[in-house]
Amino acid sequence: MKTLSIIIPCYNEETVIQITYERVKSVLNQLTGIKSYITFINDGSTDRTLEIMTEIASVDTDVFILNFSRNFGHQAAVTAGINYCKTDLAVIIDADLQDPPEIIPDLLQTMEKEQANVVYCVRKSREGESRFKLWSSKLFYRFLNSLSEVKFPLDTGDFRLIDSTIIKEFNRLRERGKYIRGLISWVGFKQVPYYYERNARHSGKTKYPFRKMISFASTALSYFSKKPLLLSVSLGFIAVIGGIILAIWYALGKIFGYTNAESGFTSIMIIVIFFGGVQLLTIGVLGQYIGILFDEVKNRPEYIIENTINIEQ
């Protein structure tokens, strides 16, 4: 008999977690020939999320809880879920019911039929998302793909079914800054899409404010592409060529008398400001990668678990 874990990261989801549990459970109960478990990761919630989970786990011993010592972020929570996973298969799904658990049987079927290691869910449509989020994420995934050495499927979140091969390889990845959907693509093996309609959040607010979106995007970009570093090289190159041309132009101007070198305040100001900006920008890009090196070298754990429920250590 195959075993399946449903990995659900939760951060302040008190309004929805009970319903999520019920909907996931009723889907799992319909599966035949599969023994399934639910792993809730409480990512430092400050509301009643942990309390509700604990109640659920006291009745249903197939529900596991990993309780973080504080909020470590969505990607760390999913990472913990995969790290603790001992089953043949795992589904990563959000707590807010944006990803309908009802398609899990279809995911399993697709995996079986295609003999795949990953079935990733591609959003055909997204309800209840701000126009800014839709637009920025569309643009971002395309931008990332154009820069990254690995190609990622577009319009895909972390919602997916993975098998034990992927779980095993994922658990060997040592980097701290995890961009999970990218890493799973990077691992390789057979990965197939499944198209679905993404719903609006059941209740509560998004836990990804603009600030977190930016930090998520910058992890994705800087861990999956070294091309921004090349930016300074190409800008520098353009500047040097421009400089040489200008120098020749002025030298010839002096000889043939077609320039009057004194009147040049505006052009000098423009050049100084422009290259000042270019330098700050490129130093900033360098700084971004040095910051990452700093974080990785410190080698801190990605998350700290305060306690677990229904899991023997």
- 10-18, 105-113, 167-175, 222-230 -> range binding ligand UDP (CB under 6 A): 10-18
User: Can you name the residues that pair with 166 across neighbouring β-strands?
Assistant: none
- 88-96, 184-192, 240-248, 297-305 -> range binding Mg ion (CB under 5 A): 88-96
* φ and ψ at residue 33, rounded to 5 degrees: 75, 15
State which residue, 11 or 152, has the beta carbon closest to ligand UDP: 11
User: Can you name the residues that pair with 302 across neighbouring β-strands?
Assistant: none
- Cβ atoms of 78 and 302 within 8 Å: the answer is no
Amino acid at 246: L
From the list Mg ion, ligand UDP, none, partner contacted by residue 207 (C-beta under 5 to 8 A by kind): ligand UDP
Q: What CA–CA distance (Å, rounded) separates 219 from 214?
A: 9
Give the interface size with ligand UDP as a residue count (CB under 6 A).
Answer: 17
State which residue, 14 or 163, has the beta carbon closest to ligand UDP: 14
Number of residues assigned to the chain? 313
Question: From the CB of 138, what's the least distance to Mg ion, in Å?
Answer: 17
From the list ligand UDP, Mg ion, none, partner contacted by residue 148 (C-beta under 5 to 8 A by kind): none
* Out of 21, 39, 52, 73, the residue judged to bind ligand UDP by CB under 6 A: 73
Burial readout 40-52 (b: 16 or more C-beta within 10 A, e: otherwise): bbbbbbeeebbeb
Residue 94 sits in the site that holds ligand UDP (CB under 6 A): yes
Q: What CA–CA distance (Å, rounded) separates 205 from 208?
A: 9
Residue 99 sits in the site that holds ligand UDP (CB under 6 A): no
State which residue, 98 or 117, has the beta carbon closest to Mg ion: 98
* Out of 14, 43, 96, 155, the residue judged to bind Mg ion by CB under 5 A: 96
From the list ligand UDP, Mg ion, none, partner contacted by residue 10 (C-beta under 5 to 8 A by kind): ligand UDP
From the list ligand UDP, Mg ion, none, partner contacted by residue 9 (C-beta under 5 to 8 A by kind): ligand UDP
Q: What CA–CA distance (Å, rounded) separates 301 from 283?
A: 29
Burial readout 78-117 (b: 16 or more C-beta within 10 A, e: otherwise): bbbbbebbebbbbbbbbbbbbbbbebbeebbebbeeeebb
N-terminal to C-terminal alpha carbon distance within the chain: 24
Residue 9 sits in the site that holds ligand UDP (CB under 6 A): yes
Which residues ranging from 200 to 219 are in contact with ligand UDP (CB under 6 A)?
A: 201, 206-208
Strands laid side by side in the 2-10 sheet: 191-198, 118-126, 156-163, 89-92, 2-10, 34-42, 63-68, 305-309
* Out of 71, 136, 164, 310, the residue judged to bind ligand UDP by CB under 6 A: 71
Residue 98 sits in the site that holds Mg ion (CB under 5 A): yes
**Contacts with ligand UDP, residue ranges (CB under 6 A):** 9-11, 13, 43, 71, 73-74, 77, 94-96, 98, 201, 206-208
**Contacts with Mg ion, residue ranges (CB under 5 A):** 94, 96, 98
